Amino acid sequence: MFVVLFLIGFWVVGGFVPPPSPAWEADRMAEFFIDNAMPIRVGMLICASAAILIVPWAAAVSVQLKRIEGRFAVLGPCQLIGAGMSTLVFEYILFFWVAATFRAERSAPIIQAVVDLGWIPFVGLAGTAILQAVAIGVAILADKRAVPILPRWAGYANLWCALMFTPGTVNVFFKDGPLAWNGLISWYMVLVAFCIWFLINTYVVIKALNLQETQTKPPPPAETPDELDRLKADIAVMQTELERLVHSQDEQHAVLSNVQRRRSAR
């Protein structure tokens, strides 16, 4: 859900795919943000709402990592803290771009500076995502169970994705080319790697949760006798008791009759 909502806000509504080029002059950058002010604002609000979903997602991942690590878990909390930091970073950066659209009367260099404050860390601050991916990958590969809680291939995939996140950190040195914030490596490769990473972990965690629910589900209750047979048995018992009572009353009447006859004979 996070990936879908974020791409809708960022790409479909906000129009940030492809991103504006860091090589643009200040006037062109300001024109882009002022002319597209409303779509950018709405798109960033959608993205901000989507970013909140990182937290419950990371909590679900952390639960599975705790199952792997046991009582003294370290990697699970690291992953969860990294997710919280990522969410906070996302929220602030998104509103830098909103701020760039907020006052059309600002000079172009100021708008460009605010835009730079958003794009440079958005692509370059990959440390929290790398922390999450490494923590998940190491925890999965450290699972020595015969049937691991999370599949080992997912551990290798997390470490691979952590490596794929790193090129974005060098975007501070480039205004054009594949390593700029809109470049083939720093932007497109990292974006694809992030989406793959998120979807892989979502898949394996959902599968683990379903298996965990099956394993912890209480056994079904023992089969009970058929209700109709039970009812028949109850009726038979009641009938026997009723016959016993009727027979007892007949005996009492007979005794009373004998007593009355004896009294009459006297």
Write down the pLDDT at residue 231: 75
Query: What are the residues whose beta carbons fall under 8 Å from the beta carbon of 1, sequence distance 6 or more?
Result: 50, 53
Clarify whether residues 210 and 227 are in a common domain: no
Q: By C-alpha distance, which of 132, 140, 123 is closest to 161?
A: 132
Query: Which two tokens mark 94?
Result: 């998104």
Q: How far apart are CA 84 and CA 88, in angstroms?
A: 6
Q: Which amino acid is at 213?
A: E
Clarify whether residues 169 and 112 are in a common domain: yes
Clarify whether residues 190 and 256 are in a common domain: no
Q: By C-alpha distance, which of 114, 115, 63, 62 is closest to 84?
A: 62
Clarify whether residues 110 and 76 are in a common domain: yes
CB atoms within 10 A of CB 145: 8
Dihedral of CA atoms 102, 107, 110, 115 in degrees, nearest 10, equals 50
**What three-state secondary structure class fits 97?**
helix
Clarify whether residues 78 and 176 are in a common domain: yes
Q: How far apart are CA 125 and CA 120, in angstroms?
A: 8
Write down the pLDDT at residue 212: 82
Residue 222 has pLDDT above 80, yes or no: no
Clarify whether residues 12 and 101 are in a common domain: yes
Do 167 and 183 touch, CB atoms closer than 8 A? no
Dump pLDDT digits (tens) for 46-94.
999 999 999 999 999 999 999 999 888 999 999 999 999 999 988 999 9
Clarify whether residues 45 and 141 are in a common domain: yes
Q: By C-alpha distance, which of 198, 178, 187 is closest to 119?
A: 187
Do 166 and 193 touch, CB atoms closer than 8 A? no
User: Considering its fold, how many domains does the chain have in total?
Assistant: 2
Clarify whether residues 164 and 237 are in a common domain: no
Q: DSSP assignment, residue 104? A: T
Dump pLDDT digits (tens) for 1-56.
788 999 999 999 999 999 999 999 999 999 999 999 999 999 999 999 999 999 99
Residue 223 has pLDDT above 60, yes or no: no
Clarify whether residues 201 and 261 are in a common domain: no
Q: What is the mean pLDDT of residues 183-197?
A: 95
Q: How far apart are CA 243 and CA 238, in angstroms?
A: 9
Clarify whether residues 134 and 44 are in a common domain: yes
Q: How far apart are CA 194 and CA 164, in angstroms?
A: 8
The burial of 199, by beta-carbon neighbours within 10 Å (0-12 exposed, 13-18 middle, 19 or more buried), is given as exposed
Average pLDDT, the chain: 89
Clarify whether residues 163 and 226 are in a common domain: no
Percent of all residues in the chain with a pLDDT value above 90, rounded to a whole number: 74
Q: What's the pLDDT band for 221 if we cut at 50, 70, 90?
A: low
Clarify whether residues 118 and 14 are in a common domain: yes
The burial of 201, by beta-carbon neighbours within 10 Å (0-12 exposed, 13-18 middle, 19 or more buried), is given as buried
What range defines the domain where residue 52 resides? 1-216
Q: How far apart are CA 39 and CA 42, in angstroms?
A: 5
